[in-house]
């Protein structure tokens, strides 16, 4: 398990990658080539919409782009005061976060209690897979990413680790081959086969 910890008021953005998806080390390289500000941390965001397509759901990017589709899950967002929060009320809509800097929907909620969206397959929570999650302590954000297969955790085990790390609220993000934690351009978790992702959370200095 790899952890990254930073202030809940650190500048974060929810950014789209290329339309056809992108490995996050390539996102970092593209930003560098284009002369953009480089994030300290990049991590994969939420799941694809579970309808066989490649669309991601329930997201408001930092550039104002809004995707209205919903998985009936839970939202992590950064409010207008710059604080990262996780809303523990299920079935809200992205329109409820119109005033947020950015927001993204995912499932299952890991803490304070494990609760999944009705649209999530049961195996996602109960089987051991590579995982990505975001958790909150009173003053910090913790990003947690496991190594690739055969390593993996159930959502129950992931929730327990985040609780021991001091989190009171936590949300599961996309996992499996999508799990990627990139710090200053280097992927920290070992992943034998990576999947291109369509959105990422970026943390800036």
Q: Of 18, 134, 5, 158, nearest to 78 (Cα)?
A: 134
| Percent of the chain's residues with pLDDT above 90 | 70
Residue 123: CB partners within 8 Å, gap ≥ 6?
Answer: none
pLDDT at residue 70, as a whole number: 82
Largest distance between two CA atoms of the chain: 43
pLDDT at residue 51, as a whole number: 58
pLDDT at residue 38, as a whole number: 98
pLDDT at residue 151, as a whole number: 77
Q: What is the DSSP letter of 151?
A: -
pLDDT at residue 49, as a whole number: 62
pLDDT at residue 47, as a whole number: 78
Q: pLDDT higher for 118 or 178?
A: 178
| Percent of the chain's residues with pLDDT above 70 | 93
Both tokens of residue 64? 């104002």
pLDDT at residue 9, as a whole number: 96
Token look-up 């897979």 returns: 129
* Tens-digit pLDDT profile for residues 97-148: 999 999 999 999 999 999 887 666 666 778 888 999 999 999 999 999 998 7
């Amino acid at each position: 398990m790899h952890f990254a910890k930073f202030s809940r008021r650190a500048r974060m953005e929810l950014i789209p990658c290329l339309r056809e998806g992108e490995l996050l080390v390539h996102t970092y390289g593209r930003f560098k080539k284009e002369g953009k500000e480089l994030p300290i941390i990049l991590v994969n965001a939420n799941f694809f919409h579970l309808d066989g397509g490649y669309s991601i759901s329930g997201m408001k990017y930092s550039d104002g782009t809004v995707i209205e589709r919903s998985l009936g899950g839970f939202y992590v967002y950064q409010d207008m005061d710059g604080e990262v929060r996780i809303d523990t009320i299920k079935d809200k809509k992205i329109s409820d976060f119109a005033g947020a800097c950015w927001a993204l929907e995912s499932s299952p909620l890991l803490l304070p209690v494990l609760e999944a969206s009705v649209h999530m397959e049961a195996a996602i929570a109960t089987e051991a897979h590579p995982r990505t999650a975001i958790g909150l302590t009173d003053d910090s954000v913790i990003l947690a990413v496991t190594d690739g297969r055969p390593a993996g955790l159930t959502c129950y085990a992931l929730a327990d680790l985040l609780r021991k790390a001091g989190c009171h609220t936590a949300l599961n993000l996309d996992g499996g081959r999508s799990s990627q934690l990139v710090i200053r351009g280097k992927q920290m978790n070992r992943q034998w086969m990576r999947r291109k992702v369509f959105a990422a959370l970026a943390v800036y200095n």
